[in-house]
Structure 1
């Protein structure tokens, strides 16, 4: 617990440290046995972060630090680009289709078209792509790749004759984002939001 008395002792210890008065530092510890454990933890933390030493912003990184940084960045960016489809991307954010649609100000039917690969990537403007990618906290390229990986689900129309069914399998018709919005159940405000 960081009481006012403990804060004063910490400030007194730092002042003694900066003055180079080791005797005053020891006296603070000895004169306050009730706060000794907290002061020791504070001093250890102070020493661990370098205390009052200034950090050279121009210092080059050690090779071991460079490798660690490269490894960490590789793991982060590999994890982010591992979404082959928009469904995987949405699920990685623990969102239902309804939550994703609501967060994006889209209707569920339009979001379903995205996940089913029925929306043509080329029909999206740069601003629309930015909004979609920003919502999922990925880059535009990562969102575009996930959309490209989302293929239309192929279904058979059971009312067709066998011959027609064997000749053509039907999936969602590709359409532009503007067409999907125009045919959707979205509110006028949300349609305008995505048309800008």
Structure 2
């Protein structure tokens, strides 16, 4: 059985489990004998890890726990995040720009620069990248990929001549994370938090 078919079966079983549809759960096992061993292992792991028991998540997750959780999801479902950029990630988490900025102790203007692709990835330290990724509960590699894919939206300056507008498109200028913080209206404490 190929990986995508097995992944589809796992997702169907989880959907049936959440809906309380035992007939569909048994039907999946009965109708797919070629994937019975893998699906049985998945179901056993689901119950062994207590996934069917509701547990209140702690407010903060240690970075090592978060990375382990993300790796486990990637191994089980063999998939990367399905987001194209940081804006889609934020919207999927159902948080506003203001909530993200407040949660990360950033200015909204700085977060806007992240979403616009104006912050240079190379200007982020490992610790800064871990803080940003940890807020969204994704790996640092995934956050870096999403930041790279958050490209500036190119616009034309309508006041330019026709010839100039054809030859030159304008977008946000790339800048380092430190410069963005220094130019922001953030409090001194929040600036020190990110620049230490």
| TM-score category (smaller protein) | 0.5 to 0.7
- Distance of aligned partners of 1:150 and 1:160 in 2 relative to their CA distance in 1, 3 Å threshold: same
Q: What is the Cα deviation at residue 75 of structure 1?
A: 5.9
Distance of 1:120 and 1:111 partners within structure 2: 13
SS at match of 2:119: coil
Alignment of 1:65-104 (within 5 A): 65-66=40-41, 68=43, 74=75, 78=79, 81-104=81-104
TM-score under structure 1 normalisation?
A: 0.63
Q: Does 1:113 align with 2:113?
A: yes
The structure 1 segments of at least 4 consecutive aligned residues displaced by more than 6 Å after TM superposition are none
| Gap runs ≥5 in structure 2 | 1-36, 47-71
| Gap runs ≥5 in structure 1 | 1-61
- Distance of aligned partners of 1:76 and 1:104 in 2 relative to their CA distance in 1, 3 Å threshold: farther
- Distance of aligned partners of 1:179 and 1:102 in 2 relative to their CA distance in 1, 3 Å threshold: same
Which structure would you say has the larger Rg? 1
Q: What is the Cα deviation at residue 65 of structure 1?
A: 3.5
Distance of 2:140 and 2:74 partners within structure 1: 18
**What residue number does 2:19 align with?**
none
- Distance of aligned partners of 1:77 and 1:99 in 2 relative to their CA distance in 1, 3 Å threshold: farther
**What residue number does 1:36 align with?**
none
Q: What is the Cα deviation at residue 160 of structure 1?
A: 1.2
